[in-house]
Every structure is written in structure tokens, then in C-alpha cells.
Amino acid sequence: MLAGLPQEVEEYVIPEKETCSKCGGELIVIGKKVVRTEVEFEPAKLKVKQIIQQVAKCTMCGKEGSENPRDHFQKAAVPSPILPHSIATSSLVTQVIYQKFAQGLPFARQEKDWYRMGLVLSRGNLTNWTIRCSEEWLTPIYNRIHEVLLNCQILHMDETRIQCNKEMGKKASSESYMWVIRSGACEDIRAAFFHYSRTRSGDVAKDLLWGFHGYLTTDAYIGYEKVEASKEIYCRRYYIESIPLDNQGEEIPGSKGAEGREFINLLFKVEQEIKDQPYEDKKQKRQDASRPILEAFWSWVEETAALSTTNEKLTTALVYSKNQRNYLETFLEDGRLPISNNLCEANIKPFATARRAWLFADTPKGATANAVLYTLVESARANDLDVYEYLKYILESMPNNDYLNHPEILDKYLPWSKELPEECRLIHKHKKCLKK
């Protein structure tokens, strides 16, 4: 756990004139003893850096007989700033972004923390830096991630709410949506793509997945019907929500919802047993083990639906299952298909958790910046990258490359790129404590 940290020794010695505490005799040093090992925390520090550019004058230009009749002054090459006419640097902006989008610290709290460190930065400054860097340097990589995802064979998709206060034509308290696409576990790339939209219209999903021709794993929200792809859905959550609880929040035994959940748990048990098998073997095992469970489940659904019940959630679960039977059985077609949408939901969770702290996006530009940053942060995590170092590398490099004329350059900055520098990667030997 401590192998990757710098080390120093703090040694305490006996003064030369000290004598025996028992008899006053002379002392002779016979060795040393390790008392304990500790980890010290050194708070982050800020420093002011001035960029000085050397200027030289040509000794020949401007003189009689020279090819150039005018004096020529030549300046040293200086890297382009991340934001012109600003004190912002790649390291400073990266820390601002990292604290909000990886650590869930809102700008209002960051404002106080930067002040404590001696730097006055208003939340307006922090917001402006984030949006501008997102638009100028991160959006090209964000769009490239989306392009690559559409070439996958299996994708997950889900959506969650976000409040945007200044969305034209909507009340400040109304809900907008963050759509999330995640590459399947079987894909060569690991990426999560967030997209902000003012609505939950199925046209948004259709536009986001235009050109995708694989399998889509999602819930049965009707908006996904507009997506031209093979769909796979799941129903376990509906049965869990239908299980009645007592006053202590404990499940009441013997409910029909628990019976439905048990069928689905059996399917998950099969998946656990075959998780390390080749995809073709998985497909066959599902035919042998999962299909009989499904047949028993459908018989139970028919029998239970014929019974009278006051449990509206159970009725919803049963109707949902019957209406979506074909999609619920899609996972039998291909061993690569997952049995749940957990992979996508795991990427949404950090966003949903942080949302409790920052509450809303003030403008559509801010909401879009949220989508860009969560895409890069969650994709970096999925590829075992050091999120801070990865974002810092991008913000250092993008202002000084010619990606507009050579868009192929962008591929080297993708979170799964083999060309990323070593410092962007989490070295598990040294950083085991950070591993999920």
C-alpha cells in the first residue's frame, strides 16, 4: 500500500552527554529500532509563475547590403496558454474540474477552499473556466468518443434527470435529462458517453444512436422504440419494487413480488457460473440452463396475472414482463449480451450522487459541459487511468497541436489509447488503495 510513496527517515538519537537513567553510567550505542511507520500529508501549494519570452535582434538585418532592409526581432517559442489573458493554467483548471466531476465538490465549496489557500476565485470564474476549456479543448475528444462508440456491437443506454435553470421556454424547476451510453463489457474499448438534452424524447436516443446497428441494452422506456437496433431489456427492478415492506422497512415474506425476483435471481446465478466462459459456451449454457428457468417464469407470470391483487406495482411488473417478453429473452441469442444494465447504471451513479451537492446546472452551456466532463472522467475510470493526470495531459497538449487540420491526432487522447503517457495510468502496484 505504501510502496509507491516517497520515503524519509526521522531519527531520534540519544544526546552525547546523556547517562544511564538507572545508575548514571556511560552509554554505548548498540543499534537502532523502528518504532512505527507513519504517512504525512502535505497540503497542496500554489505558486505564481511568470512566463518570460526572450527576444533577439538579428545582427545582419537592417544593415546596408542585407537582404532584409529592416531590423528583425526574433522571439523564443512559447507554449500557447489554455485560456488567453487569464491566470488559468492546465494544472489549476484540471484541479477545479477534478474536484467537481471526480470528487463531487461544487464550485461554491471550492471557492472557499481556494480562498483558504490564498487565491480569490469566484464560482463565476470556476464556471467560466470549466465551460470554456470544455468547449475549446475537450469537446473534440468527447465527439470522437461518441463516433467510436457507434461502431460497437453492444451498447448500454439509460437516462437520468438534471435541472437546468435557464433553459429557454422551461421553468427553472423543470427537469431536463442526461442520457448515458456505455460500451458493452465484451467490447475492445471502455467508454461512457453523457449527453445533455432538454427533453426525454425518443428522438434524442434515435439521433444519438444514428448509425448504430448492434444490440442495445436498456429499460423498456417507450422512447427507445425509435432506435433502429436490436433491443434487450430487463425487469428485476420492477419485482423488487413490488415487494411489500413492514413498518421497519423489512420485506414481508411470501409475497408474489419476491417469487418473481427469485426466478430472476436464478438467471443471475447461471450468469455467475458462466461469467468466465467463452461467449459461444455462454450461449449454449443459457439455452440449457436459462431457457428452462424462463419458461417456468412465464408460466408463473400467466398464473399470477390471473389472480386478483391490490398491489399495483406487482400488476405493473407483470404487465411489463408480458409486453416485453421478446426483448427480455434477447440475451439468449448471443453469449456477449449482458443480463442487466448494471454497467451503465454504475456510470450514472457518480453523476446522481454528485447532483445532490451541486443541485442544478445554471445554463444549457453548463449542462453540456457537465456531459463532456463526466464523459471524460467516467471513461478514464473505466480504463484505469489517473483522472487528474489524464485531464491535465489533455489540457496541456490540446492548445498546442493542430487537431483542426489533422483530426486523426485526437485518437491519441482517447482514454483507451496506447499512446497515453505512463503517468496517466494507475499503477496498481503503487496505488492499490485507489483501486475500486
Q: What is the pLDDT of residues 307-343, one digit of tens each?
A: 988 889 999 999 989 988 888 899 999 999 998 888 9
pLDDT tens for 65-121 read: 888 989 999 999 999 999 999 999 999 999 999 999 999 999 999 999 999 999 999
> Taking a C-beta distance cutoff of 8 angstroms, is the pair 141, 173 a contact?
no
pLDDT at 436: 44
| Chain length of the chain | 436
Say what the alpha-carbon torsion angle 358, 396, 190, 349 is, to the nearest 10 degrees.
Answer: -10
What is the H or E stretch that residue 182 is in? strand 175-183
pLDDT band at residue 418 under the 50/70/90 scheme: very high
> Taking a C-beta distance cutoff of 8 angstroms, is the pair 329, 79 a contact?
no
Looking at the DSSP assignment, which residues form a beta bridge with residue 193? 181
Report the mean per-residue pLDDT for the chain: 91
pLDDT at 430: 53
pLDDT tens for 367-390 read: 999 999 999 999 999 999 999 999
pLDDT band at residue 64 under the 50/70/90 scheme: confident
Q: Residue type for 225, please?
A: E
Looking at the DSSP assignment, which residues form a beta bridge with residue 176? 162
Whole-number Å distance between alpha carbons of 237 and 265? 11
Q: How far is CA 114 from CA 99, 126, 131, in A?
A: 12, 11, 19
pTM for the structure as a whole: 0.88
Q: How far is CA 251 from CA 257, 267, 417, in A?
A: 10, 21, 47
> Taking a C-beta distance cutoff of 8 angstroms, is the pair 421, 388 a contact?
no
- With 0-12 / 13-18 / 19 or more C-beta atoms within 10 angstroms meaning exposed / middle / buried, residue 158 is buried
Query: Residue 405 pLDDT > 80, yes or no?
Result: yes
pLDDT tens for 195-244 read: 999 999 999 999 999 999 999 998 878 888 888 877 777 788 889 889 99
Query: Residue 433 pLDDT > 60, yes or no?
Result: no
